[in-house]
Every structure is written in C-alpha cells, then in structure tokens.
Amino acid sequence: MRFTKMHGIGNDYVYVNCFEEQIDDPARLAVVVSNRHTGIGSDGLILIAPSEIADVKMRMFNADGSEAQMCGNGIRCVAKYTFDHEVAQAGDEFSVPGLATFERSLQVETGRGVLTLGLKIGNDGKVVQVCVNMGQPILNGMDIPVNIEMENIVDQDINVNNQVLQMTCVSMGNPHAVFFCENVENIDLEHIGPLIENHKLFPERINVHFVKIEGPNEITMRTWERGSGITLACGTGACACAVAGVLSGRCERNVLAHLPGGDLELNWCEDDNCVYMTGTATEVFSGTF
C-alpha cells in the first residue's frame, strides 16, 4: 500500500489515495499504521476517495479505529494532496465574506456533508495555505450530542471526579466540550481528558479542550481528542473554541488560536453563520507499507 504522511500544524495522519489503492478494513488499518512504535506513527488514517457529489471524498479514522465525521486539520491536507498530486481538477477562486479571496477552490465530501475549501498557491505551484468553510456550528444539546436538554450549553457545570468544572459545548460535525481556564499548561490533560471524554453526559464520547483567553481576538488551547488522546492540534476543536468564546462573551468573532503545533485563523461569520478556518498543510514523506 502506498501512503503519504501529512500534517496540519502537527496534527498528523497517514493518507491513502483510494483512487489508486483499495482498503478493505480501514478501521483495523488505522490502528496498525497509527502506532508510533510499530507502525508509521500518526493521529489516525485518512482516505482520499472518489465522490459522486464533490471533487473527492474524505474518510477519517482515529488512532483507535473509530471513524469520525470530520477533521479540520486533516481536510486541509486532503485539499493540498488533491491539488498538488492532480487527483481532481480545482475550481475557481473562493472568497471568505469580508476577509480574503483564495485563488482556487475544492469541494470535499465528508461525514458532515460537502465542504468548500479555498487554496492559496505558492510560487512553486503547490498549496501553501487552505481555508475551510467548516459550516454552521451545532449548538442544541441533544444534537451535539450531550444528555442535557438545552438550546445552548454555555458555562454549564459538570462533575468530573468530584470536581465541578464549567463547560461550553459545540459540535462542528463532531462533539466538543470547551473549558476556559487561567493557564492551559497547568491542566493535567492526560488524567482529566479521558475522564471527560467518557463522561456519562456524552453518548458518543467527546473531544476536550482547555482554553486561555489572551484577548478578545486571541486564545491559547490544548486538546484531548476523542479516540486519539493528546494531539498537537484539532481543527474542528479550534472552531468550537472560537464559537464557545463568542457564546460566553469572552471573544469576538475573529480569533487567532495558538495550538501546540501552530496557529489557526478563525472567523465565525455573521453573514452566513459559518465558521471559516485558515491554516497550513504540510506533506512530510511518502512510502510503501
């Protein structure tokens, strides 16, 4: 099997071009290739496949083999791979309302539907930056899903191991719980992350983020990803944190998010209620497994 290792600000995945390769058991393969000691090493597996309704289809599997609907950092790499390797023909320019225009565009089918991406092309003809229309956030508790019947779950108490924390919950195609704190480095994420991920309030488990507000347009965050553990970045999570900041009155709609692996620009647009995420995508190496 031919593969390509890529990452979006440190959130790394093994990518397989399913226009050329056939994968019969992607869940099992994800577990094998993700192992950082006996496999290739990654946060999971992403398949780039033909689509009947978009330019390409993306399927994403966590390191434990569970399939997720979306991955914000992963989809930027899908766009870069698709354009750079000429898997599909890119479309015309893509504009973010009131912000920027990108030279080319792609449509990617995901578990959350078809998403549109803007591509910034470098002098070498390769993609250097990708903007993703991540769609509208899902805020109703039962739709996220969280076992709390509330329209907006904002600064809601949750008991974790006899400690009461305040969470704000958002879905960006997969569920996120956001906790604001004074210093993200002081959080014992390896201990508290799995306790929150598997809490009884979350029927499909949940992604966990601790966030420090640096200012109305700037945040710092750390992440425990459902099915993968501590990761250097989470694109859908960064979007969820930006939305949570607005809902709780802590942030404005344009936010620069600092993650351990790098930065993401986020804009929750009032015009269409969609969240736009802009960041880099990097190809590391290719090989045969």
20-72 confidence digits (pLDDT tens) = 999 999 999 999 999 999 999 999 999 999 999 999 999 999 999 999 999 99
Is residue 149 domain-shared with residue 269, that is, in the same domain?
Answer: yes
User: Does a cis peptide bond (omega within 30 degrees of 0) precede residue 145?
Assistant: yes
Residue 136 lies in a domain: no
Is residue 146 domain-shared with residue 221, that is, in the same domain?
Answer: yes
273 φ/ψ sector (left φ>0, alpha ψ -120 to 50, else beta): left
Is residue 147 domain-shared with residue 263, that is, in the same domain?
Answer: yes
CATH number at residue 62: 3.10.310.10
Is residue 225 domain-shared with residue 105, that is, in the same domain?
Answer: no
Identify which of 99, 107, 169 has the alpha carbon closest to the alpha carbon of residue 137. Answer: 169
Tokens 């399913």 correspond to 18
Active-site option among 71, 169, 241, 251: 71
Is residue 176 domain-shared with residue 84, that is, in the same domain?
Answer: no
Residue 196 lies in a domain: yes
Is residue 174 domain-shared with residue 263, that is, in the same domain?
Answer: yes
Active site residue 71: yes
pLDDT over 80 (residue 280): yes
Query: 223 and 216 in contact (C-beta within 8 Å)?
Result: no
Residue 215 lies in a domain: yes
Residue 128 lies in a domain: no
pLDDT over 80 (residue 138): yes
Q: Which pairs with CB-CB distance under 8 Å and at least 24 residues apart come from 271-274?
A: 271/97, 271/98, 272/97, 272/136, 273/136, 273/137, 274/133, 274/134, 274/135, 274/136
Integer Cα distance of 124 and 234 in angstroms? 28
pLDDT over 80 (residue 98): no
Beta-sheet pairing, 113-121 with 94-96: unpaired
Which DSSP string corresponds to 145-181?
A: T-SS--S---SEEEEETTEEEEEEEEESSSEEEEEE-
Q: Mean pLDDT, the chain, as a whole number?
A: 96
Is residue 111 domain-shared with residue 190, that is, in the same domain?
Answer: no
Full-model pTM: 0.94
Query: 125 and 273 in contact (C-beta within 8 Å)?
Result: no
> Average pLDDT for residues 141-154, to the nearest whole number?
96
pLDDT over 90 (residue 261): yes
Q: What percent of the chain lies above the pLDDT cut of 90?
A: 97
Is residue 152 domain-shared with residue 65, that is, in the same domain?
Answer: no
Strand partners of residue 116: 107
Residue 283 lies in a domain: no
- What is the pLDDT confidence band of residue 97, given thresholds at 50, 70 and 90? confident
How many domains does the chain divide into?
Answer: 2
Residue 33 lies in a domain: yes
Q: What percent of the chain lies above the pLDDT cut of 70?
A: 100
pLDDT of residue 96: 86
Q: What is the largest distance, in Å, between two alpha-carbon atoms of the chain?
A: 55
Is residue 147 domain-shared with residue 258, that is, in the same domain?
Answer: yes
Distances from the Cα of 30 to the Cα of 45, 79, 116, 122, angstroms: 5, 20, 26, 32
Is residue 145 domain-shared with residue 269, that is, in the same domain?
Answer: yes
Is residue 205 domain-shared with residue 252, that is, in the same domain?
Answer: yes
Structural domain for 153, as ranges: 141-273
Residue 282 lies in a domain: no
Is residue 18 domain-shared with residue 76, that is, in the same domain?
Answer: yes
Active site residue 234: yes
Residue 133 lies in a domain: no
Domain boundary among 97, 123, 149: 123
pLDDT of residue 182: 96
Report the Cα 6 to chain-centroid distance in Å. Answer: 14
pLDDT of residue 141: 97
Active-site option among 234, 239, 251, 274: 234
Helices and strands per DSSP (H, E), number in the chain: 4, 20
